[in-house]
Amino acid sequence: MQILARILFAVACLALTALASVMAAWNVDERAQAQFTALVNDAQFNFNNRLNAYVHSLDSASAYVASAPELSAADWRNFVELIDIDKNLPGVSALGVIRAVPDSQLSEFVAKRRMDGMDGFSVHPKVKANEHLVVEFMEPLATNVNALGLDLMFDKARHQVLDDARISGAKVLSSPLSLVQNPSSPGFVFARAVYSYAKANANGSPAQPRAFQGWVVAPFIGAVTLANLTAQPTEYFGLSVYDVSADADEVLIYNHKPDETTYQPKFEVTLTEPIFGRNWALHFTSTILFDATVKSYAPLITLIAGLFTSGLLCLLMEILVRRVNTVNLLVARRTKELKARGDENKSIVESAYIPILILNEKDEIVQANAAALELMGHSQRSEVKRMPISKYVSPVAKPDPSVRPGMGGWTHLGANGRLLNIRRSSWKNAKGDLRHALIIQDVTEEANAALRIAEAEQRWQLALNGSDIGVFDIDLKTGRSIVSEAWKRMMQVEDESADFDPQAEFLSRISPQDLGRLQDADRRCINGETERSISEYRVSDRSGNWRWMRSDAAVVERAQDGQALRMIGAQMDVTDLRMAREALEVSQKRFELMISEAPVGMAVFTNDGVFISVNDALCQFLGYREDEILGGVRIRDVLDKAVMKHVISVVGPQAVDRSRAYHGEHECTASDGNKIWALLSISWTFDPVAQSDIYIAQLCDITDKKNIERMKSEFVATVSHELRTPLTSIKGALSLLESSAEFAQGPTKRLLDITRRNSDRLGAIVNDILDFEKMSSQQLSFDVTEHPLKDVIVDAATMIETMANRSNVSIKLDLPDDPLMARIDPARTHQVLANLLSNACKFSFPLSDVEVRTSIVDGFHIVFVCNRGCGIPASFRSQVFKPFVQADNSAKRQFEGTGLGLHITQKIVESMGGRIGFTSEPNKLTVFWFTVPIANKEAATVLKIAGE
């Protein structure tokens, strides 16, 4: 039987070796075929690229001829030199222009060419025809002089390809020809008809059809075009190209055979390429060099390696068979030894004092020794045989923590209530039946004692670990101490050896500056002077840093004579507490120093208005002494009661956002009763010590600033009013002059227009300044009524239309049919729209649109003014609504203005209960928007605008 198995194994190995060799040969052929296909694809790709280059050159030549009605020989020569035929069009002999010349105009055509500098130009050969197809230009001329003036009517194939190109309007390839440039090799003419571009008539009538101007041609030699198609050596493949078009017999164009004609190639591929009306067959064959290059010895190597491996496997199998025979002999010998040892073990079990049971796979008792029978209350083995073990012992429902570590096994409860520790092991007998051996030990007393100790230790450790308090117990007679695990973690103790001395470790790491204070506290407690020893001290950790500790200890045992014998205490890490306390003290001192030394008036007062802290700057500002303010002055004596009520509502404990501070300009009452202006800043906080609200106030004297603003306002108002009177007279005089026929034309009218625009501009500036001043002094009046917002938008757009025309832009309104009733001041809303529309027109790209549209959001009408232009620089966006500010403030800026328009617009919109804003992208879309309340509806308190 073993001999047959060896023979079958050897045959299988040889079969696998042969299969592997065949697969390797197939794989080599597949890789070689893929390499040859890659060569063919590369050649085909390059061939198509060359044809595409010919096509592009004809397209560009056609466009050039069509765009140059009077084309000269020099122009054509320059054009062909730019194309660089030798480099970019391999195979092409030249690029030429052919004209269709009626027989009656042939002499005139020749004379014109000679006047163009072509002295020897003549038409040849002489052909009788109504129309001659004459080669007008052919460059480079040096190698194509014979083709110049050639009349292609002499050959049917030549004029047929030109007729096909003219009729189809497409690029056409001729059948194989004998070119005058190289008569010995098949050549081709690639032709395209040239048509002039159609133009529309000036009177708007339909465009005339495109006029035929002639042909551009590219004669090329097939053998040159097809040579060197790949970057690979040409010795790797042979190539034969045939013209196989249906209108003629098969013609050999190109034949490249590196090998002898008798060599039979291993790989062949034939491709048929449609080429502008012709079909070319490209036949590729592999060469001796290519076949030798892809040849591989992998199949032979695979066969040799397989045979060698098969021999090794057969040898290995022979070795294994012999080893199995040897093992079988050893097994028989060991079986006898095991049987003898089993009998010996059985005798030992029977006489053992420890109960031992043998169970089957059903946990039924198969065998029991005398000690086990005694434990179960039986005297005969037959009484317990085949009885389930569960009848005598049951598993404990909850694992008992009292089992001694290392005891192992399962803990069970015996039938007599005793706690048993059972070790169980399993094996299979000679028949394969599962058997379990149970070794039983009574651990009732031991478990009860261990349980009591474990519970005590667990409670103690839980208490210490949960509180993160280290406990120490010092024997004052010996100086030795016992410490908890928490104390070790706190002290970063790593030494767990039996001779570790915690007291020595502690004394070595305590700061020498704190050791004396700690020892003094311990001495007074030991001597009975104090009940407890409480002290804070520094201890170095393993990194060399100091950490603060706090210990609290007491003497718990004394001798009859009062001598202290034992001290127990607890130690806590209070580093974070100390650091927090020190940081609080530093912060308190810094805050007090900041208030006392601040250059502006600062004060802290309670919710009742009682000052609890002031600095010298505040005392000087109000004219009080510090003791007067702290003794009886209240905040209501300094600030108006209504102001304080408003401030508390903004920043007090009941405010929505208590994190922000209040800022405002208000009048304060000094000690002498005079009113002085102050810039007031107040914030709220809670004092956890006093458990009360406190307010921190800053008062900066701005009386001089207010006086300057008042004088500026008066000056601006005076100047503006003084400008209006002469400006009115100037406008009246201009109106009289413009109504006179004498000044209504010529240069005088231009001067009057310039004067009128400047006077209008000056008037607008004066009006802006007056409006700005009224807003600054809160004197600008509003007449808010329910009015159609749509009418105001239309009126403003109509007024700005003239300016839009000057800026070469259009205003488009995208408004609903609804009148858009709103609560507005119509005149002021008109002013807002005029400002936004004029700005949009000034800063829009020429020939663009300024668009106005509306929407409704949260009880408000929202108006969008959109334009496309230069946009608003990112650096200027925060200043858009500030007065007297422009993006270009240079003296040579492109657009005029005071920089007040958007500021006034913002104030008007906000005064009517709305909001205004913008979005802008440089050189793209800019959108300004503003809102006004809808009539008969309560406006939303918070408006969220979705940017568009």
Element at 636 (helix H, strand E): helix 635-638
* Whole-Å CA distances, 155 to 126, 248, 605, 819: 12, 16, 116, 83
Give yes or no for residue 890 having a pLDDT over 90.
no
Q: Copy the structure tokens of residue 671.
A: 């000690």
Over residues 596-605, the pLDDT tens digits come to 677 788 888 8
End-to-end Cα separation, the chain, in angstroms: 91
- With cut-offs at 50, 70 and 90, classify the pLDDT of residue 520: very high
Whether residue 897 contacts residue 916, with contact meaning beta carbons closer than 8 Å, is answered with no
Distance from C-alpha of 628 to C-alpha of 138, rounded to nearest angstrom: 114
H-helix or E-strand containing 243?
Answer: strand 237-243
Pair of tokens at residue 538 = 């520094």
Question: Could you give the CA distance from residue 148 to residue 827 in angstroms, rounded to a whole number?
Answer: 84
The DSSP symbol for 787 reads E
**Measured distance CA(577)–CA(34) in Å, rounded:** 80
pLDDT digit string, tens, across residues 164-194: 899 988 899 988 888 877 788 888 999 999 9
Residue 133 CA to residue 565 CA, distance in Å, equals 136
The answer to whether residue 14 scores a pLDDT higher than 90 is: no
Residue with more model confidence, 232 or 638 = 638
CB contact at 8 A, 591 and 583 = no
* Over residues 234-242, mean pLDDT: 83
CA pair distance 946, 948, nearest whole angstrom: 6
Rounded to an integer, the average pLDDT of 421-449 is 79
| Contact between residue 566 and residue 474 where contact means Cβ atoms under 8 Å apart | yes
Query: How does DSSP classify residue 863?
Result: E
Residue pLDDT, tens place only, 93-113? 899 999 999 999 999 999 998
CA atoms within 13 A on the CB side of 614: 26
* pLDDT tens string 742-783: 666 667 766 766 776 666 666 666 666 666 666 665 666 788
Give 64-88 as a 3 state SS string: HHHHCCCCCHHHHHHHHHHHCHHHH
- Quote the mean pLDDT of the chain: 81
Please state, in angstroms and rounded to a whole number, the distance separating the CA atoms of residues 597 and 599.
6
Per-residue confidence (pLDDT) for residue 946, from 0 to 100: 30
The letter for the amino acid at 440 is I
Q: Which of 722, 499, 692 is nearest to 610 (CA)?
A: 692
- The pLDDT tens digits for 813-835 are 999 999 999 999 998 899 899 89
Which of 210-219, 497-506, 748-757 has the largest mean confidence?
210-219
Q: Are 432 and 410 in contact (CB under 8 A)?
A: no
- pLDDT above 60: residue 894: no
Provide the pLDDT for residue 502. Answer: 85
User: If residue 350 lies in a helix (H) or strand (E), which one and from where to where?
Assistant: helix 298-351
Contact predicate 788/821, CB 8 Å = yes
Radius of gyration in angstroms for the set of CA atoms belonging to the chain, rounded to a whole number: 56
pTM for the predicted model, two decimal places:
0.36
Q: Confirm if 243 and 279 have CB atoms less than 8 A apart.
A: yes
Nearest residue to 667 via CA among 656, 677, 657: 677
Instruction: Give the whole-number percent of the chain exceeding pLDDT 90.
Output: 20
Question: CB–CB of 438/357 below 8 Å?
Answer: yes
Report helix, strand or coil for 374.
helix
Cα 53 from chain centroid?
44
Q: Inform me whether the pLDDT recorded for 403 exceeds 50.
A: no
Alpha-carbon distances, residue 442 vs 63, 170, 366, 418, 709 (angstroms): 113, 110, 22, 7, 104
Measured over the CA atoms of residue 558, residue 559, residue 561 and residue 564, the dihedral's sign is: negative
Residue type, 647: V
Residues 6+ apart with CB under 8 A from 653: 684, 686, 693
Question: Burial code of 179-211, b = ≥16 C-beta within 10 A, e = fewer?
Answer: bbbbeeebbbbbbbbbbeeeeeeeeeeeeeeee
Q: Where are the alpha helices (DSSP H) in 84-191?
A: 85-88, 106-115, 156-168
pLDDT of residue 875: 83
Confidence of residue 466 (pLDDT cuts 50, 70, 90): low
Q: What is the dihedral of CA 854, 855, 861, 866, to 10 degrees?
A: -40
Alpha-carbon distance values, 415 to 367, 387, 454 (Å): 19, 14, 26
Mean pLDDT calculated for residue range 877-885: 78
Rounded-to-10 torsion of CA 538, 540, 546, 549: -40
Each residue's pLDDT tens digit, 121-160: 899 999 898 999 999 999 998 888 888 999 989 888 888 8
Look at residue 918 in the predicted model and tell me its pLDDT: 94
Which of 46-60, 63-77, 259-273 shows the lowest mean pLDDT across its residues? 259-273
C-alpha to C-alpha distance for 82 and 468, rounded to whole angstroms: 91
User: Which residue in 713, 693, 859 sits closest to 774, CA to CA?
Assistant: 713
Q: Flag the least confident range among 343-352, 494-503, 883-892.
A: 883-892
Give yes or no for residue 628 having a pLDDT over 60.
yes
d(CA 31, CA 34) in angstroms, rounded, equals: 5
- Listed range (49-63, 381-395, 608-622, 817-831) with the worst mean pLDDT: 381-395
Q: Place 44 in a pLDDT band, splitting at 50, 70 and 90.
A: confident
Q: Which residue has the tokens 């839980």?
A: 462
Compute the distance between CA of residue 796 and CA of residue 255 in angstroms, rounded to an integer.
Answer: 84
Q: Is the pLDDT of residue 468 over 50?
A: yes
- pLDDT tens for residues 689-705? 777 888 888 888 888 88
Q: Give φ, ψ of 401 to 5 degrees.
A: -70, -5
Q: What is the pLDDT of residue 583?
A: 82
Question: From CA 271, how far away is CA 40, in angstroms rounded?
Answer: 9
Burial classification of residue 127, based on how many CB atoms lie within 10 Å of its CB (0-12 exposed, 13-18 middle, 19 or more buried): middle
- Beta-carbon-side half-sphere exposure of residue 59 (alpha carbons within 13 Å): 6
Poorest-confidence range of 433-442, 612-621, 842-851? 433-442
Strand pairing of 916-920 and 419-428? unpaired
